[in-house]
Amino acid sequence: MHSFPMKTRFLLASLALALVSIPGIRAQDAKPVPPAPAAPVAAKPEKPETELEKTMGKMNKAWRQLRKAAKDGKLTPAMADLVVTIRVNAEAAAKLTPEMEADKPAADRAKFHADFQAQLKKLTAKLTELETALRANDIPGATKLVAAVGEIEKAGHHEFKKPDEHEKH
């Protein structure tokens, strides 16, 4: 028989006693394995983003920041730069053609495009007022103008944006 030195036997005995006396030490209960996720449904192929969608996306990014600041009561004169971003992109968008125009009968396309440009001109004018109010530190006036810009934006989307595009933004 193999004999262990006294220190080793003492150490092993202490370890065995500790393991037996600690009730919390035991094998953990096996956790159930979650089922494998279902195969993803074939997603619609992404169509390339149009120049108008890119331009509107830039507007939307700045608009969300501005609208949130107005909602939270945190508008400042420095936010006039966000308004400039929105206005410059609205002016650029007026030079582009909405996809929805192609769906209109040929006889209605010119009027549709003119209405689209008029809506963006109305938006641009209101954005200019908003920028002026912010630069003048007229925060109450700017807050009202943010609401007015929001109404123009909603009306424009309702008129000139395809219904399936409303869900994206």
103 part of a folded domain:
yes
**What's the confidence (pLDDT) of residue 119?**
95
Residue 138 lies in a domain: yes
Residue 25 lies in a domain: no
- pLDDT at 101 exceeding the cut of 80: yes
> Is residue 106 predicted with pLDDT exceeding 90?
yes
106 vs 161: CA distance, rounded Å:
18
Which tens digits make up the pLDDT trace of 145-157?
999 999 999 999 8
In order, the DSSP letters of 109-153 are HHHHHHHHHHHHHHHHHHHHHHHHHHHTT-HHHHHHHHHHHHHHH
User: Is 2 part of a structural domain of the chain?
Assistant: no
Joined together, the tokens standing for residue 152 give 């123009």
CATH number for 135 = 1.20.120.10
Number of folded domains that form the chain: 1
Give the C-alpha distances (Å, rounded to integers) separating 38 from 33, 48, 70, 94. Answer: 15, 28, 43, 45
Find the helix or strand (DSSP H, E) in which 160 lies: helix 139-160
Structure token digits, residue 30? 């096996």
